[in-house]
Amino acid sequence: MNNKRRPSFFTLPILIGVLLPLLLWGCGAKNDGGKDPRKKEQPTLSVATIQRGDATVATKYAALLEGKVNVEIRPQVDGTLQHIYVDEGAFVKAGQPLFKIDDQVYREQYNSALAAQHAADARLVAAKIEVEKLVPLVKNNVVSDIQLKVAQANYQVAQAAVEQARAATRSASVSLSYTIIKAPVSGYIGKIPFRVGSLVTKNQAGWLTLLSDVSDVYASFSISELDYIRFKKQYAGTSMQETLHHVPPVSLMLADGSRYSEQGSLITVSGQFDEATGSVRVRAVFPNRQGLLRSGNTGTVVMESVYRNMVMVPQASTVELQDKVFVYLLGEGNKVKKQVITIAAKTDESYVVSSGIKEGDTMVLFGVDKLQDGAVIKPVRSAPVAKTTPK
């Protein structure tokens, strides 16, 4: 008797349910060419060849404006403020009266000193007459020469008294003149904190007003140590003054964002760095023919530097990591390499590169933020990376 069991009718559907998915998967694998669906496709990215070019780089520095002469007007005598001849913000010329202090006391002092001078002059005349009278008498042996010598000594004393009296008169006259306070320079009147009737003294801490000569305006700003080193390397000169002569004119941006119509020039660089900030003070001067600028205004000094025959890359094609800037260069087999670059300067859109890449290298232009070092891409050629930034 044969004990082997034949497959039952109910076992066939089970076998078909197990084998059919396997057959379908195998057919699908053949239909898609045998590709692994887990394998990522190579990204298609734009690349360009690096070339050299020229760039004009504008560096901006916040600046404080002040007139070329700022004079604190202070009283030089004590007294009551009797008149104020000007208003705040008014333009005055050199020598124009600004304030008047009550001069009654000083006028009396002057009159007294003048009277004393007149008395001394009279005594001098009398002493001179005495000497002239005794000279012939001594020659004729009428009187002793001792009397003449005494008279001559009295004459010298009278001369000294006259000089002293005249000095006292001049001093009183100067004090009297100080009661009229005049503008030492032409310029604009600042704030006037005192009013008529206020008591002022020559030793007071506050000034009567601040007078600013703004025919030329200074713009003071600070540059970092790194900018200073670049500045010295870029412009020739054995001394700082010679270097400043080679610096092109600078521009001024006003507080409203508009550009000031006149160009200025750098005139001084401080001889010492600020230890707290690590910066050095620089001063530029701008003409102010229309009087638009005033002391206390703020602005932005724009220094433009021209870089010749330099490698430049778009900022959008770089990645910053731990204070370093990287680009991706295209190598053999379309494999990219992450390369650090050294930045010499930057424009609004590009970096001026001093080292790290060279002319003829091919770099990835876009999509670098998600790239990995060593990745393989499908490159699409774009225009060469080089441009001249217009002034």
Domains and CATH numbers, the chain: 45-55+309-381 (2.40.420.20), 59-66+214-307 (2.40.30.170), 75-102+179-206 (2.40.50.100), 104-177 (1.10.287.470)
Hey, CA dihedral for 157, 158, 162, 165, is it positive or negative?
positive
The pLDDT of residue 223: 93
The pLDDT of residue 83: 97
Per-residue confidence of the chain (391 residues) as pLDDT tens digits? 444 444 444 444 444 444 444 444 454 444 454 455 445 678 899 999 998 988 888 889 999 999 888 899 999 999 999 999 999 989 999 999 999 999 999 999 999 999 999 999 999 999 999 999 988 988 888 888 899 899 999 999 999 999 999 999 999 999 999 999 999 999 899 999 999 999 999 999 999 999 999 889 999 999 999 888 888 888 888 888 888 988 889 999 999 999 999 999 999 999 899 888 889 999 999 999 888 998 889 999 999 888 888 898 999 999 998 889 999 999 999 999 999 999 888 888 889 998 999 999 999 998 888 889 999 999 998 888 765 544 4
Give the position of tokens 């009661």: 179
Q: Which two tokens stand for residue 260?
A: 């000031």
Taking CB atoms within 8 Å and a gap of at least 24, the contacts of 246-251 are 247/303, 248/304, 248/306, 250/284, 250/301, 250/302, 250/303, 250/304, 251/301, 251/302, 251/304
The pLDDT of residue 81: 96
Other beta carbons less than 10 A from residue 174's beta carbon: 13
- Confirm if 313 and 353 have CB atoms less than 8 A apart: yes
The pLDDT of residue 361: 93
CA 152 to chain centre: 69
The pLDDT of residue 191: 92
pTM of structure: 0.63
Q: Which two tokens stand for residue 360?
A: 């003829």
The pLDDT of residue 24: 44
The pLDDT of residue 109: 96
3-state secondary structure 248-274: CCEEEEECCCCECCCCEEEEEECCCCE
- Confirm if 371 and 336 have CB atoms less than 8 A apart: yes
Query: How far apart are alpha carbons 284 and 252 in whole angstroms?
Result: 10
